[in-house]
Structure 1
Amino acid sequence: MNDQRPTPITAGQVESVQRVVRLGQRSDTTIDAASTLSQTYATDVDDLWEACTTPDRLARWFAPVSGDLRLGGRYQIEGNAGGEVRACEPPRTFTLTWEMGGGASEVNVRIEPDGDAAARPRTHR
């Protein structure tokens, strides 16, 4: 069987991502963890928004995604998580639930300019 999906180009990807993890105590028995990832891309905010919110473009670099990627819509990542789009303010920010294995968390993505010819998404989970 021949898999026709393109192979993502990942050389240097891991090293170029900035990561921050913050822990907070919600109660005596509950600890919250928040992780933030960011990376600069040589493109503008509108193009980066399209890459993060259009199923055909998501499949090129992330995974195939189906469903309704509008506010209130539900999505499914092939072989992985699914969830609901909770907030959407194009081309700057969106929030979605990440539901998998009976658990759920929230993902916030903010896209902002980073210099004259670059854009940076910040993902907070």
Structure 2
Amino acid sequence: MTTGPLGEASTNDDGTSTLVFRRTFPDPIEDVWATLTESDRLARWYGHYQGTGKPGGTVELTITGEVDAGGEEGDPVTVSILECAPPHRLVVEMDAWHLAATLTEEPGGTTLVFEQRIPAGFPYPVSEVEPGWRWYLDRLVAAVAGRPMPAWGPYAP
């Protein structure tokens, strides 16, 4: 099985790293935005949340993509909404994760640039973080297209 394009990592002057992924969709920007931001559509590939997301606000996110072998979801995590400019840009923080999604309308579809800033001293190397986001973004592509979710096995580092 082929997985989606690899993320590109760079080291920043402040000791952080940035991991960047690009995905293209033949779908309208509003559909991709909805799959990133509406709880029921987000749940298809990543997780669901409770609360009303708005800049400066928070939501409680339960990640469902990694339901354990016993079928149990993990505990919710608080996600801070730093920036939200529908349907083009969403920036959030949860735990040590700083995530940004930028959507651009292109002829015939939408381009997503997904970025994660990884703090200096983070306990996992970028090489172990990259496959997880690649898997989730391939799940996003599948969710937008209405296809089955990819299995984790081909992505495991």
TM-score by length of 1: 0.72
Tell me which residue corresponds to 2:28. 44
Higher relative contact order (CA 8 A, sep 6+): 2
- Aligned equivalents of 2:12, 2:54: Cα separation in 1: 31
Per the alignment, in what secondary structure is the counterpart of residue 61 of structure 1?
Answer: coil
1:8-67: CA deviation from partner (whole Å, max 9, x where unpaired): xxx75xx223411001242xxxx2111111211221111111111100100011112222
Tell me which residue corresponds to 1:65. 49
CA gap 1:96/1:112 in 2 versus in 1, 3 angstroms: same
Per the alignment, in what secondary structure is the counterpart of residue 64 of structure 1?
Answer: strand
Residues paired across the two proteins, number: 104
Tell me which residue corresponds to 1:83. 79
* Poorly superposed stretches of 4+, deviation over 3 Å: none
- Aligned equivalents of 1:24, 1:56: Cα separation in 2: 35
Tell me which residue corresponds to 1:93. 89
Letter of the 2:85 counterpart:
E
| Match among 37, 53, 70 for residue 53 of structure 1 | 37
Tell me which residue corresponds to 2:12. 24
Identity %: 17
- Aligned equivalents of 2:94, 2:33: Cα separation in 1: 19
TM-score by length of 2: 0.59
**Residue 82 of structure 1: CA displacement?**
2.7
- Aligned equivalents of 1:115, 1:17: Cα separation in 2: 21
- Aligned equivalents of 2:97, 2:48: Cα separation in 1: 20
Could you tell me which runs of 5 or more consecutive residues in structure 1 were left unpaired when the two chains were aligned.
1-10
- Aligned equivalents of 2:32, 2:90: Cα separation in 1: 13
Contact 1:18 1:39 in 2 (8 A): no
| Match among 110, 113, 120 for residue 111 of structure 2 | 120
Tell me which residue corresponds to 1:105. 97
Letter of the 1:68 counterpart:
T
